[in-house]
A and B are shown apart, each in its own frame.
Chain A
Amino acid sequence: MLIWEAYKLLGPADGVVLGTTRILPRTTDLAMPHVWDMIGRLGEPVTRSPSAQPLWGVVALAALTTLGIAAAGWLVGVVVGIGLALVMQRWRLAEWGLLPWIVISQTVPLIAFAPVVKSWGSRVEIGSFEWQDWMSVALIASYLAFFPIAIGALKGLQSPDRIHEELMQSYAAGYWTTLVKLRFPASVPYLLPALRLGAANAVIGAVVAEVSTGLQGGIGRILIQFAGQASGDPSKAWAPIFGAIVLGLVAAGSIALLGVMLRNYRRTEEAV
């Protein structure tokens, strides 16, 4: 923030241009509004109409909507990711067969398939269940979230020492008992960073998917909408960006909280 204002104060109005490429941005109020203007703008109403809500309220509501969608996507990602990890841990063959595809799946650009998912979604109708547009967004979020979770969970499930596995074997413990008493607890130090990464991905995925599917109500939508008004109201365009940052912090914070609750399972973490 200090850097921002310092650069704004000292930097040339036209930015720093090297050859024909501008390597540092212009410092005009249009391109870089003052930090206090951006914050002050949050407290003002969205539009000039007398019934308008304050900007921060609109952003917070949009952020909450997006958070809900991202959380749904994250949950799906957790279930799918851990499910895949379980299958891969149990059967070596599945690991060989699945892992390359899981990796390849992440190379498909998000923007490319977001509209495809939306159009598939609009055709899904099972009985009284009707596919909602937000579900497409959640699905895309989960698509980004499941990858780190699958990889982290697999690593975690495979992490118990041989001595512990043999101990369980000596107790004649079966697959499920070993899973619950040994593999899951042992995987916590690997799972937590994976869940954090998955949460960040889910938020990014949800915002980007909102933009590319044009879903109303979320932060992605107002990001585009306010950016369009930036020439007249430059500070306003920054509000959703703050909203997105807070969203990411809330997501990361929830995982940190989870980590505190599970701290007994992280006693070996320094060694990992």
Chain B
Amino acid sequence: MRDGSGFRDGAGAPPQPASGAVSAVEVRGVDKVFETRTGQVQALDAIDLTVAAGEFVSLIGPSGCGKSTLMRLIADLDDPSSGTLTVFGKTARHARLDQEYGIAFQSAGLLPWRTVAGNVALPLELHGAPSAARSARVAELLDMVGLTDFADRYPDQLSGGMQQRVAIARSLAEQPRLLLMDEPFGALDEMTREKMQSDLVRISAETGAAVVFVTHSIPEAVFLSDRVVVMSPRPGRIREIVPMRLGADAKRAARTDELREERAFFDMVTAVREALHGGAPVGTGPRGMETR
């Protein structure tokens, strides 16, 4: 495991990678247009975004504003219509082939015929890790997500929260420098969700990985992130990037549940909410942003 210290200086500072350090993600002038039967959909319009190595960035916005699309472009599961996109200085495709990122989706997406351990081992197996190293790594990961006792269970024997933890362990299996997560806690109840958020903060601090995290929930974004990217729909644009000043002098690992009750936390929630509703009156239209 890489050393988690010094992955960012100044929680709220815009990304200024130390000279020579290459940023995790660089998005420059990216557009994405989908051709559909009913015409063109401009899913993303002139997106500029830099995620520094080790930085935790959340994407938030009403549904349909292109969060998933942006994540899929970074993951090279889709191609931008125009603009450039690099991951650790490589093209997205190159980065995917080099396994630079781990990914987790809204649903866990575990293979039902594999045990918990088998699912976590999948990426290691595909990339030919020797079996001894593999089982050691799997044990380590299951310990990290607290599922050691469930190694031999099958996904259908686990709760939704446990499945999601397996998926997260799987995304971490190859110690990626970048984690892409698309509403990974969206289907969980509030209690499990907060527990998972704390776990994710701890894990990302331990591994020092950069995280791009899509969410619907403002408190979740505020709690987790160094910066929150607020997006707006039709066409999908970045409306504002809100730096979080939480625990500015502390490492990310210092973010504990107490933080949720601090005044600064509520101030940041308010700041993000205002950015989301900026201009438009709150709660108009069927797609008004939920504010959890």
Interface of A with B (CB < 8 Å)?
161, 163-164, 166-167, 169-173, 177, 181-182, 185, 188, 264-265, 267-268
Contact = CB atoms under 8 A, between A and B. Distances in A.
A167 B96 contact: no
A177 B126 contact: yes
7 contacts: A163-B109, A167-B109, A169-B77, A170-B77, A181-B125, A181-B126, A268-B156
Contacts of B122: 171, 181
Contact of A171 (B105, B123, B155, B156): B123
Contacts of B107: 163
A99 B31 CA distance: 39
Q: How large is the interface on B (under 10, 10 to 19, 20 to 34, 35 or more residues)?
A: 20 to 34
B75 interface: yes
B105 A173 contact: no
B198 interface: no
Contact of B96 (A170, A182, A265): A170
Contacts of A161: 109
B156 A167 contact: no
Given A177-B126, A181-B126, A170 B103 contact: yes
Contact of B113 (A166, A170, A173, A185): A185
Contacts of B156: 267-268
A267 B109 CA distance: 14
Contacts of A173: 126
B112 A170 contact: no
Nearest to A267: B112
Nearest to A262: B113
List 7 A-B pairs, minimum CB-CB distance, nearest first. A163-B109, A265-B113, A172-B97, A267-B112, A268-B112, A170-B103, A171-B126
Interface in B108-132: 109, 111-113, 122-123, 125-127
A163 B77 contact: no
B185 interface: no
Nearest to A164: B109
Nearest to A264: B113
B96 A172 contact: yes
Contacts of A181: 122, 125-126
Given A163-B105, A163-B107, A163-B109, 10 more contacts: A164-B109, A164-B111, A170-B77, A170-B96, A170-B101, A173-B126, A181-B126, A264-B113, A265-B113, A267-B112
B148 interface: no
Contact of B77 (A166, A185, A264, A267): A166
Nearest to A173: B126
Contacts of B99: 171-172
